A and B are shown apart, each in its own frame.
Chain A
Amino acid sequence: MVTETVLQFTGLFKTFGATRALIDVNFGVQAGEIHGLVGRNGSGKSTLIKVLSGYHVPDPGSQLTLNGEQVNLPISGPEAAAQGLVFIHQDLGLVPAYSVLENVRLNSWQAKGLRRIDWKKERAGVEEELERFNLRVEADTPVAALSQVDRAILAIVRAMHHLGTDSTNKVLVLDEPTAYLPTDSVDRLFEAVRTVAHTGAGVIFVSHRTDEVLEITDRISVLRDGRLIDTVTTADTDEQALVSLIIGRTLSSLYPDRLDLTPGELVLEVIELNGDHVRDFSLTADRGEVVGITGLMGAGHDEVPYYIFGARDAKSGSITVNNQVLKTHKATPTESIAAGVALLPADRLNLSGSASASVEDNVALPVFQQYFSRGRLQLAQVRERVGGLLATFDVQPAMPSLEFSSLSGGNQQKALLAKWLQLEPTLLLLHEPTQGVDVGSKAEIFLRITEAASAGTAVLIASTEYEDLANICTRVLVFDSGRVVGELSGDELTEERILDLCYRGARGRGAHGMVFQWRPYRVGFIPPGIEPEFVKTPGRAAAHPSPKAVFQWRPYRVGFIPPGIEPEFVKTPGRAAAHPSPKAVFRWQPHRVGYIDTPGTGGGETRTVDHPSPKAVFRWQPHRVGYIDAA
């Protein structure tokens, strides 16, 4: 590979008033290289990217060289594009309602002005580009229907399209591309990023996640307090060394010491909770316990906190907090809060906090009532309280009057933790508490959670950060298809075991002696004359208390495959005529129909079901409902 420098900053300074955001930064990216850019919030990382995108004007004397040519700063948008510089930001910049084709082409149709678009040709071009990045989506699918990772890859496809076919001397900047991706789909994004690097383009990969940076990059540059501390070769470094570079001291551990749990009183009892995806979920949690619930994306674990909090209505089940039964139907957060429950949703700027309101108003929102005395809101006292909380929770900058969205992700999360922990809840529900948070803030957040637990709060964390869960929880429940497939605690509670359960559950492996029944589920229509075929899958077994279980099957589409590839799970004849794709891939998901008296009677049977249409295609998906004896 050519080791040619495609982008080079020399002596880059950026000053805001008296603040020096960037101090003498020399930063270079080579062709074909994936270059990680890391640093805490406020280290100058985003300022550097904003200088590169032309948003900030650097101080005089700063130099930027692209492909050996010096560029006038600030660089303008069209100029950056002409020089082969393209950005993908966290929000991706796709139009959800438009199709994949329209999004990729957006402003680069071959036809200009009022001339007719040659759809056939454009489609062929886009399909080729999708193929190159192994993105198996149809060109006509609206982007809204794509998964998060497919959208991220699509953004890369579009970016590369704008750079043209020859991608040497090009630079792709990825700003926190994985922040909103579920952990299990990051690999696919990485594959696409590597494809870009293989074409000879340089890639700047900005991320908070040290594990990802170590996995994907060739070299890593670390910024701290506006200075470029070091540029290291990824192969020669490890996580601990990298984290020390980022925070400027050795972090003994990201995680606080685990608590020695003495069985306390019962705080939370959930019995047979059923929701949109959650099935028959039961859980108890004691004072001081930190319980994790996890699974792959869509496994249903992430709904649980919202049901318990009364933010969403469950279908059935009962929830008891502090011996107080909470409603599961027509529930309101107001009652849950009164019962001592607090919820911190994953969506910081839309659900947890109000982006445009001040930090003060956000933090004080649940307690305004307490400051209404002598006929008016005691705003000075509110400000004092919030200021104190911000200092305690190490929110930087500790200025209550700032707009909430101007805080960095880590500081927003610390402020929101303060908002809820000031109520001293007996049950704290957290959903992805460390998403998009830098490594230093992450350690602080974990410390807060552990402190709250040792003060007697029961904590329930729904997350897909398996490593974090393994390290801060006392036990972890793993979900698959809405059901708990395993519970881990003690020595068994490791990242590997969680991952293992997540994936094993999803693949339906490792079972024997189970009884399955089948239930039809229409996915489309086939032409007359073709008989639907019902698929039987091998049973699976597990050690489980109940001696008898019955399974039914239900189809579940997970995506599409390109022409020429045989779908592995599809055993049915014909296809859905009204379906956008001729080739659907299906996964299996079990669905309970009931219980049988003697083991075996339901085994592998095909049930005929009256169906409104004679031309329906049925496909099946396994869904566990219980267990039977190995006999």
Chain B
Amino acid sequence: MSLTTGSAVARERARRSGVVARRVQAYSILVAWAVLILIFTLLLPETFFTLQNFTAIANSKTATVLLTLGLIFALAAGEFDLSIGAALSLGAAIPAWLYNEYGTPVLIGIAIALIAAALMGCLNALLSVRYNIPSLVVTLGTGTAVIGLVAGIVGNSTISIRGDWWNTVLAHRTLGLYTSFWLVLLIALIIWYILQHTPIGRHLYFVGQSREVARLAGIRVNAYRYSALITSSTLGALAGAFLLGNTGAVQARIGQFFILAAFAAAFLGSTAIVPGRFNAWGTVVAVYFIETGITGLQLLGLQAWVSDVFYGTALVVGVLVATLATRLRSRLSERSTL
């Protein structure tokens, strides 16, 4: 194909503008976060812009971050996992119940819960991979059933492990932040490495984006789908265990309240840092971005309902931004091929 110099220059320019657009999008959530903090600081200089408030935000959301980090494995593989709420309930309520009822050490209780959650993930994968039922339907079913079972076993009252070493260690503060926060950061680092810097991560994205292409390229698609669903359940249960450690007391149905938050953060996170992909740091930032907004509004005197409104909005806005950005990118790509 013959190229005129003019059009080659234009192509290069179009390519650069594509790269710039991607960069801008990658970090725009950080800018939005900073603006949000600035606004609340101006409105509430006494209460909002305090070290205490920031550490409270960081500490209170470690379980949500971990839960969402697990969820992005499933989403990246193209599977919806609505049973993460149930996984969280398993991880939080079962160890607490075993501890109170039988005096089982919390760590053993957690191990049992993790195994149970992994089995649930395995069942999810079996039904959606082997029998080709959409994972959205499968996990809605298993998730609801498992939460019900946990509530049946544990009962509806709040159970506490306060004072146990798991509680003491996880809620121990280093530089004002819980041990669980540092652990979650470490896990985020590992997940970032896996998704971004290993062939496994690349393959996982392909499995989610174009399953047949991946299969015909020799990737063991079903193995990836199994692993993704098992990982999301297991990390969900671990998030539950962290929640138990942080707060020291939980209820059986606690997991239900985390599902929407995790999905909102995952989709919002997919528009940031590595736009267009579910990614670890985007997820971490998205969770804290949303939480900053909610805390700020609550400090302004708005009631708890604000969090539902905020999470719902964040989910829709996240998906909207992702869609618009994809459209913009393909426009720019199209232009550079002309």
Which A residues have a C-beta under 8 Å from some C-beta of B? Answer: 16-21, 40, 42, 47, 225, 248, 309, 311, 332-334, 336-338, 343, 345, 350-357, 361-362, 364-366, 368-369, 371-372, 375-377, 394, 396-397, 399, 401-403, 405-408, 440
List the 6 closest pairs (A to B, CB-CB), nearest first: A354-B210, A406-B333, A18-B10, A368-B199, A19-B10, A337-B218
Query: How close is B270's CB to chain A, nearest CB, in angstroms?
Result: 13
B336 lies within 8 A of A350 (CB): no
A419 to B222 Cα, complex, angstroms: 23
Closest to B220 in A: A334
Within residues 214 to 262 of chain B, which ones have a CB less than 8 A from any CB in chain A?
A: 214-220
- When distances are taken between beta carbons in the complex, the residues of chain B under 8 Å from A309 are 216
| 5 residue pairs from A and B, CB less than 8 Å apart | A311-B215, A351-B213, A365-B217, A399-B11, A403-B330
Q: Any chain A CB within 8 A of the CB of B48?
A: no
A40 lies within 8 A of B1 (CB): yes
> How big is chain B's contact interface, by range?
35 or more
**A19-B338 contact given A354-B206, A396-B1, A406-B330, CB 8 Å threshold:** yes
- When distances are taken between beta carbons in the complex, the residues of chain B under 8 Å from A16 are 10, 14, 335, 338
A42 lies within 8 A of B337 (CB): yes
Main secondary structure of the interface of A (DSSP, over half): mixed
- When distances are taken between beta carbons in the complex, the residues of chain B under 8 Å from A19 are 6-7, 10-11, 14, 335, 338
A352 lies within 8 A of B213 (CB): yes
B337 lies within 8 A of A377 (CB): no
Q: A18-B9, A225-B4 are in contact. List 20 more A-B contacts (CB 8 A).
A: A17-B335, A18-B13, A19-B11, A20-B6, A225-B2, A332-B220, A333-B218, A350-B212, A351-B216, A356-B326, A364-B202, A365-B202, A365-B213, A396-B3, A397-B336, A403-B329, A403-B333, A406-B333, A406-B334, A408-B337
- Among B3, B7, B201, B213, which residue has its beta carbon within 8 angstroms of that of A20? B7
B199 lies within 8 A of A369 (CB): yes
A223 to B337 Cα, complex, angstroms: 17
Query: How close is B219's CB to chain A, nearest CB, in angstroms?
Result: 7
**A311-B216 contact given A16-B335, A396-B1, A440-B1, CB 8 Å threshold:** yes
A29 to B9 Cα, complex, angstroms: 34
A401 lies within 8 A of B216 (CB): no
Query: How close is B199's CB to chain A, nearest CB, in angstroms?
Result: 4
A14 to B275 Cα, complex, angstroms: 31
- When distances are taken between beta carbons in the complex, the residues of chain A under 8 Å from B205 are 357, 361
- When distances are taken between beta carbons in the complex, the residues of chain B under 8 Å from A375 are 197
- When distances are taken between beta carbons in the complex, the residues of chain A under 8 Å from B333 are 402-403, 406
- When distances are taken between beta carbons in the complex, the residues of chain A under 8 Å from B219 are 334, 365
Query: How close is A245's CB to chain B, nearest CB, in angstroms?
Result: 14
Query: How close is A144's CB to chain B, nearest CB, in angstroms?
Result: 20
Q: Any chain A CB within 8 A of the CB of B18?
A: yes
- Among B1, B199, B334, which residue has its beta carbon within 8 angstroms of that of A377? B199
Query: How close is B216's CB to chain A, nearest CB, in angstroms?
Result: 5
Q: Any chain A CB within 8 A of the CB of B209?
A: yes
Query: How close is A367's CB to chain B, nearest CB, in angstroms?
Result: 9
A399 to B336 Cα, complex, angstroms: 9
Q: Any chain A CB within 8 A of the CB of B165?
A: no
Query: How close is A226's CB to chain B, nearest CB, in angstroms?
Result: 9
A17 lies within 8 A of B10 (CB): yes
Query: How close is A405's CB to chain B, nearest CB, in angstroms?
Result: 7
Within residues 1 to 57 of chain B, which ones have a CB less than 8 A from any CB in chain A?
A: 1-4, 6-7, 9-11, 13-15, 18-19
A354 lies within 8 A of B209 (CB): yes
A20 to B193 Cα, complex, angstroms: 43
B214 lies within 8 A of A365 (CB): yes
**A333-B217 contact given A17-B10, A20-B6, A40-B1, CB 8 Å threshold:** yes
**What 1/0 flags go to B267-310 for Cβ under 8 Å of A?**
00000000010000000000000000000000000000000000
Q: Any chain A CB within 8 A of the CB of B198?
A: yes
- When distances are taken between beta carbons in the complex, the residues of chain B under 8 Å from A357 are 205-206, 209-210
- When distances are taken between beta carbons in the complex, the residues of chain A under 8 Å from B3 are 396
A376 lies within 8 A of B197 (CB): yes
- Among A336, A377, A408, which residue has its beta carbon within 8 angstroms of that of B202? A377
Query: How close is B244's CB to chain A, nearest CB, in angstroms?
Result: 34
A333 lies within 8 A of B215 (CB): yes
- When distances are taken between beta carbons in the complex, the residues of chain A under 8 Å from B330 are 403, 405-406
- When distances are taken between beta carbons in the complex, the residues of chain B under 8 Å from A337 are 217-218
- When distances are taken between beta carbons in the complex, the residues of chain B under 8 Å from A333 are 215-218
A443 to B263 Cα, complex, angstroms: 49
A372 lies within 8 A of B199 (CB): yes
Closest to A348 in B: B213
- Among A334, A377, A399, A440, which residue has its beta carbon within 8 angstroms of that of B198? A377
B193 lies within 8 A of A376 (CB): yes
A365 lies within 8 A of B206 (CB): yes
B198 lies within 8 A of A376 (CB): yes
Closest to A345 in B: B216
A397 lies within 8 A of B18 (CB): no
**What 1/0 flags go to B316-338 for Cβ under 8 Å of A?**
00000000001001100111111
Query: How close is B280's CB to chain A, nearest CB, in angstroms?
Result: 15
B218 lies within 8 A of A368 (CB): no
Closest to B210 in A: A354
Query: How close is B324's CB to chain A, nearest CB, in angstroms?
Result: 15
Closest to A366 in B: B217
Closest to A419 in B: B217
A338 to B218 Cα, complex, angstroms: 9
A354 to B201 Cα, complex, angstroms: 16
A396 to B3 Cα, complex, angstroms: 10
Name the residue among B6, B13, B196, B333 with the largest chain A CB count within 10 angstroms. Answer: B333
A15 to B14 Cα, complex, angstroms: 13
A402 lies within 8 A of B197 (CB): no
B11 lies within 8 A of A397 (CB): yes
Closest to B329 in A: A403
